């Protein structure tokens, strides 16, 4: 299996309003915690969430879903540059998208395994 470049963007979700990009220092704190808790995330992502290395990260979706529960108000947007697919993750649920990110919609979130 070949590896991919992963990129993580974090937005703060404001109930009933649009999403808003996290401030750089807030995002760095969350990404640092993610990288410390997940060796594959540490290998794949820089401290800013940019691609670090081409990485084989088999459990990227499960790892991101699990970690997202620590920050239920944050939208994790993880994009795999190789296959051109991504996923929005919020508080343990996710929504897939391909190539061009779709508009994030709460009702499209699903549990892992659905």
The confidence band for 83, taking pLDDT boundaries of 50, 70 and 90, is: low
CB 10 within 8 A of CB 20: no
Does position 41 have pLDDT exceeding 60, yes or no? yes
> How many alpha carbons fall within 13 Å on the CB side of residue 83?
14
pLDDT tens digits, residue range 84-100?
A: 678 889 999 998 887 66
What pairs with residue 11 in β-bridges? 21, 75
Helices 60-68 and 24-37, packing angle to 10 deg: 120
CA 94 centroid distance within chain: 9
- Mean pLDDT for 32-40 is 94
Q: What would the mean pLDDT of 1-17 be, rounded to a whole number? A: 66
Beta strands, E only, the chain: 6-13, 19-21, 74-80, 85-90, 93-98
Res 103 pLDDT > 70: no
pTM, two decimal places: 0.80
Domain range list for the chain: 6-108
**Token couple for 107:** 């009702």
């Amino acid at each position: 299996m070949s590896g991919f470049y992963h990129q993580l963007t974090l937005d703060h979700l404001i109930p009933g309003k649009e999403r808003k990009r996290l401030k750089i220092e807030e995002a760095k704190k969350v990404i640092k915690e993610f990288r410390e808790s997940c060796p594959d995330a540490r290998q794949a992502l820089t401290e800013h969430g940019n691609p670090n290395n081409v990485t084989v990260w088999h459990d990227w979706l499960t790892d991101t879903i699990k970690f997202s529960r620590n920050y239920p108000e944050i939208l994790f947007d993880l994009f795999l540059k190789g296959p051109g697919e991504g996923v929005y993750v919020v508080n343990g649920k996710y929504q897939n998208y391909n190539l061009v990110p779709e508009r994030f919609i709460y009702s499209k979130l699903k549990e892992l395994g659905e």
